[in-house]
Amino acid sequence: MTGYITETDRCDCDTIHEEVVAQVREKMPEDEDMLNLADLFKVFSDSTRVKIISALQHSEMCVCDIAVLLGMTKSAISHQLRALRQSKLVKNRKEGKVVYYSLDDDHVGTILEQGLIHVRE
Amino acid sequence: MTGYITETDRCDCDTIHEEVVAQVREKMPEDEDMLNLADLFKVFSDSTRVKIISALQHSEMCVCDIAVLLGMTKSAISHQLRALRQSKLVKNRKEGKVVYYSLDDDHVGTILEQGLIHVRE
DNA sequence: ATAATAGTTGAGTAGATGTTCAATCGTTCA
DNA sequence: TGAACGATTGAACATCTACTCAACTATTAT
C-alpha cells in the first residue's frame, strides 16, 4: 500500500493485460460518441417506436392513423412521436386539426433495414 | 352503435385515412420481426454495452481488463457480458482462472459503425 | 490444505421507461 | 357560441434495467 490512489483502488481487480488495455483505449471512439450511439439505438429499442418508423417509411400519416394501425391509443402514440421528434427522426406538419408525421432522416431507414437483415437470418 | 366490436371501439379515434392505413399495413414487416428488431437494438441502447463491444472489436479481453478499461467493477461488467452472451453477440473461452471474451457476430461491428456515422455528422 | 485471485450469481435498490387516464389545447363546423 | 374531434400534456403507476453488495465457485500457487 502506497497511500495513493492506484489503478487497483479505482476498481476491484488488477489489470491483467495492461498493454492490451492501453492499445484498445487508444483505438476506441470518444466517450461522448459512444454515449450518443447508445442514445440513438435507444430510440430503436422499443417495438412501438420501431413500428411507427416502419410505418412512416411507406407513407406520411396522422396520429390517428398510426393509433389505429398499431391498435393503441392516440395518447400513447403521441407520447412516442414526441420522443421521435426530440431525436430529430420525424417531422410534422399541421393541416387543420390533423397533424401529419413523416420521417426526417435518411439514415433511419438504413439503420432499421441493417438490423432487419441481421434479425431475419 | 352496432353492438359489435368495431375499429372505433378498439381505439379512441376514428380512422381518418383508411386506405393509407391498409396499404401501410401490407407493406410493413411481420410483427415478430419488429419485436426482434427492437430487442436487437436494445442491446446497443446502453453505453456500457456499446463500450464493451467497441473494445472487443479491437481485441479479445478478459473481464478484469474490461473492468479496468471502463473504470467499473468486475461484477457490473460480468452482468453485461452475460446479456451479450445471451444475445449471441459475444463468446468466451476459459484459460485457467481467466475468461476471455470476443465478438461472436460479424454484423455487430457493421451495425455499430453505421450508427457511428450517423451520430458523428 | 490454505490463501489468493478471476469470475459468476442473486437479492436489493434507485432510476428510467411506456402506458393509462383525465384534463386541456386548437381547429372546424353547425 | 359551443359542440365535436384531433392532438398534446402531465401525473400516476407498473415494469424494467443497471449497478452494488455480499456470497459463492473454480482455478492456481504456496
Q: Which residues of B49-80 are buried (b: 16+ CB within 10 A; e: fewer)?
A: bbbbbbbbbebbbbbbbbbbbbebebeebeeb
B69/A25 CB distance under 8 A: yes
Say how many residues make up chain B: 121
pLDDT tens, position by position, A24-57: 999 999 999 999 999 999 999 999 999 999 999 9
Closest-CA distance, B3 to chain A, in angstroms, reads 20
Q: In what order do the strands lie in the sheet with B98-103?
A: B61-62, B98-103, B90-95
Which nucleotide has its C1' atom closest to residue B45's CA? D17
Residues of chain B under the 50 pLDDT cut: 1-10
Closest nucleotide to B63, Cα to C1' = C7
Instruction: Inspect the interface and report whether the beta carbons of A110 and B114 lie closer than 8 Å.
Output: yes
Do the beta carbons of residue A42 and residue B119 sit within 8 Å?
A: no
**Residue A18 CA to chain centroid, in angstroms?**
33
Model confidence pLDDT, tens digit, residues B59-83: 999 999 999 999 999 999 999 999 9
Q: What is the pTM of this model?
A: 0.89
Give the per-residue pLDDT at A12: 67
Residue of B nearest to A14 (CA): B64
Closest C-alpha to A13, from B84, B102, B76, B55: B76
- pLDDT digits 0-9 by tens, A62-87: 999 999 999 999 999 999 999 999 99
User: What pLDDT score does A2 carry?
Assistant: 33
Collect all residues of chain B within an 8 Å Cβ-Cβ radius of residue A10.
71
pLDDT class for A3, splitting at 50, 70, 90? very low
Confidence at residue A11, expressed as pLDDT on a 0 to 100 scale: 60
| Chain A window 39-98, residues with Cβ within 7 A of nucleic strand D | 62-65, 67, 74-75, 78-79, 81-82, 92, 97-98
If DSSP codes are grouped into helix, strand and coil, which group holds residue A92?
A: strand
Three-state DSSP at A99 gives strand
Q: In B32-97, at which residue ranges do the beta strands (DSSP E only) sit?
A: 61-62, 90-95
Q: How confident is the model at residue A4 (pLDDT cuts 50, 70, 90)?
A: very low
List chain B residues with CB under 8 Å of A98. 16
Element (H, E) at A43: helix A31-43
Is residue B54 a contact partner of residue B101, using CB atoms and an 8 Å limit?
Answer: no
Q: Using the CB atom, is residue B93 less than 7 Å from strand D?
A: no
